[in-house]
Amino acid sequence: MTDDDSQPISVLLVEDDPGDVVLIEEAFEHNKVRNSLKIVGDGVEAMAWLQDPANPRPDLVLLDLNLPRKDGREVLAEIKSDPALRSIPVVVLTTSKAEEDILRSYDLHANAYVTKPVDFNRFIEVVRQIDEFFVTVVKLPAHRPPPR
């Protein structure tokens, strides 16, 4: 993969912990390609953002599971059962390493499940790797509006 192939992508981050938001922002800043990061703090805001036709469709969703107002598991289920949204890759990014959460997330068609490392430097590195993977390695579906 050359850098010429790498276009910025738009990422929707669904995360309520402001401490983790700062770490994830930091991680995104470490990569050569600067993606656009939209942050919402709960599941209700996430679905409102995704379902509003005025908003650009994100290329990737990073989804925490334990969210206020609407749980991440519900958000995942709604995204993956909506024909307009289900082709957006969703990476679950959560503190949980419970087997039942892992299984249930994949069952609901999560594209990947990542447990947030406790060590914050490792956390930043993991998020950076996710970001880089989806920009430089994977192919994403083309969609009409380009990312802002």
Q: Is 32 in the site for another protein (CB under 8 A)?
A: no
Amino acid 134 reads F
φ/ψ (deg, to 5) at 6:
-95, 110
**C-alpha 89 chain-centroid distance:** 8
Residue selected from 2, 118, 141, 148 as contacting another protein according to rule CB under 8 A: 118
Identity of the residue, 47 or 124, whose beta carbon is nearer to another protein in the bound complex: 124
Contact present, 117 and 133 (Cβ < 8 Å): no
Give the residue ranges of DSSP H helices in 6-146.
18-29, 43-51, 72-81, 99-107, 120-132
φ/ψ (deg, to 5) at 118:
-70, -40
Q: Is 41 in the site for another protein (CB under 8 A)?
A: yes
Residue selected from 90, 124, 130, 135 as contacting another protein according to rule CB under 8 A: 124
Q: Is 1 in the site for another protein (CB under 8 A)?
A: no
Residue selected from 23, 50, 61, 79 as contacting another protein according to rule CB under 8 A: 23
Shortest distance (Å) from residue 11 CB to another protein: 17
Count residues near another protein (CB under 8 A).
20
Contact present, 75 and 14 (Cβ < 8 Å): yes
Question: Within positions 94 to 113, which residues make up the interface with another protein, using CB under 8 A?
Answer: 95
Residue numbers at the binding site for another protein (CB under 8 A): 16-19, 21-23, 25-26, 29-30, 41, 68, 95, 118-122, 124
